[in-house]
Amino acid sequence: MFWKKGIPTLVLSLLLLGIVVSSSGANELGDAVQRKQDISNQKNQAQGQLNQLTYSADKIKAQLTQLETEIATAQTLLSQKQAAYAQAQTQVLSAQKELDQKQKELENRQSALGKRARGIYESGQISYLELLFQASDLNDFVTRMEYFSRLIDNDRQLLTDIKSQKEQIAQKTRELQSQRDQAAQLQAQAATVSANLAKTKSQQRIALDQNQKAQQAAFEEVDRLEAESNALGDKIRKMQTAQATRKGGVSGSISTWPLPGFYEISDPFGWRTHPITHKQSLHTGTDIVAPAGTQIHAAGAGVVLEADWNSAYGNMTIIDNGNGISTLYGHQSAFAVSEGQTVTANQVIGNVGSTGLSTGPHLHFEVRVGGNPTDPLQYFPN
């Protein structure tokens, strides 16, 4: 009796336990998926910040290049203004020296005339007349009169000439001084422009250094979030694979080239310097060059584990091909399948693009075994 009653009770307990375990697994998967979505959003924000910083850095570098040109021009102009000022200063000094000489000559001549006038005044007009009337005859008298007249006229003309020359030199000196002062003003203006440009360049250098530090921090944040996302992605893929196994799973193989007709490899699997972050990192796939919009084919039959945005891979599709093998197709411009969909080998799953961290249209193709990246070309020896 107990046996008959105990069997239904045991079966019911096992069923309830299975529901609890199944519910727990579903909840864990749901939490992981939600967490991955949160991380994806954070990565998108960090990537947006990185893109903005990169744009700002390029803009600052362009401004610095322009400043270098402007500074070189300003320095040339400053040198010209300094040379012009030096020349004007030399001309002013030369003219001032000439003016001083004429002034001295005028003073000497005026002094000589003054002494002669004082001598005539002190000896009186009689002495002057005596010199005239001492003439031996009329011709001698006329000669003496003409001599005194010419002497006076010559002194007067000499004084007039010296004064005229002095005034001309004084005018020339004033003009040269004006030119010198203008040259000094232009020199000061050119020096100010040059100093301001140098100050602006220094400020731009500081801004660029700060920007590059911020870029480095953003790179590190993107890397951290990417690593965390990859870890969660592995966890999700394992859980989804386990679920697929319970439902029968898939048992496919890698046999179809994802871009028929396009075989140029721009970046093979292996360690490299990343073209954007400029860091040494493992290139976990093979980059195949093809025009944007080219159809991407599934490398093998399987189940789509993910068809979503990723900050590094852009639009990305991951297919579980069974036997622990999965394939990844990155940087797509568009999707042709969705998560949970079963696909066949050679089925179109999307289109080539340049989304995410990409420098041009191509397909990033990965093959992972047990979640670990492996060289995809080993599956295509020909």
| Each residue's pLDDT tens digit, 175-224 | 877 877 887 887 788 788 878 888 887 888 888 788 777 777 777 776 77
Q: Which of 52, 55, 51, 57 is nearest to 211 (CA)?
A: 57
- Name the nearest CA neighbour of 161 among 96, 102, 94: 102
Between 187-191, 240-244, 321-325, the lowest mean confidence (pLDDT) is in 240-244
| Residue 213, number of CB atoms within 10 A of its CB | 11
User: Within 10 Å of residue 187's Cβ, how many Cβ atoms?
Assistant: 21
Q: Cβ distance 253 to 294 under 8 Å?
A: no
Residue type, 177: Q
Is the model's pLDDT at 34 over the cut of 70? Answer: no
The model carries a pTM of 0.43
Look up residue 228 and give its two tokens: 């965390």
Residue-wise pLDDT for 78-88, tens only, equals 778 778 778 87
Residue 169: is its pLDDT beyond 90?
A: no
CA distance 323 to 289: 29
5 pLDDT higher than 80: no
The phi-psi region of residue 287 (left if phi > 0; otherwise alpha if psi is between -120 and 50; otherwise beta) is beta
Contact yes or no for 52/60 (Cβ under 8 A): no
Quickly count: other Cβ atoms within 10 Å of residue 157's Cβ. 11
The H or E element spanning position 368 is strand 362-369
Residue 289 pLDDT greater than 50, yes or no: yes
One-letter amino acid for residue 363 of the chain = L
Characterize the bridge pairing of strands 314-322 and 302-310: antiparallel
DSSP, collapsed to helix, strand or coil, labels residue 372 as strand
Amino acid at 307: A
pLDDT tens for each residue of 84-105: 778 877 877 877 787 677 677 7
Q: Evaluate whether the domain defined by 9-248 bears CATH number 2.20.25.
A: no
Angle subtended by helix axes 2-133 and 138-246, to nearest 10 = 180
Give the residue-averaged pLDDT of 364-382: 86
- List 271's β-bridge partners, or say none: 282
Give the per-residue pLDDT at 160: 79
355 versus 359: the higher-pLDDT residue is: 355
Instruction: DSSP letter for 254, please.
Output: -
Instruction: Please state which CATH number belongs to domain 249-382.
Output: 2.70.70.10
Mean pLDDT of the chain: 75
- Indicate whether 125 pLDDT > 70: no
SS3 257: coil
258/88: higher pLDDT: 258
How many C-beta atoms lie closer than 10 Å to residue 133's C-beta? Answer: 10
Q: Where are the domains of the chain?
A: 9-248, 249-382
Q: Is the dihedral of CA 26, 31, 32, 34 positive or negative?
A: positive
Percent helix / strand / coil, the chain, rounded to 5: 65, 20, 20
Distance, CA of 89 to CA of 95 (rounded, Å): 10
pLDDT, residue 365, reads 95
CA separation for the pair 30, 38 (Å, rounded): 12
Amino acid in position 224: R
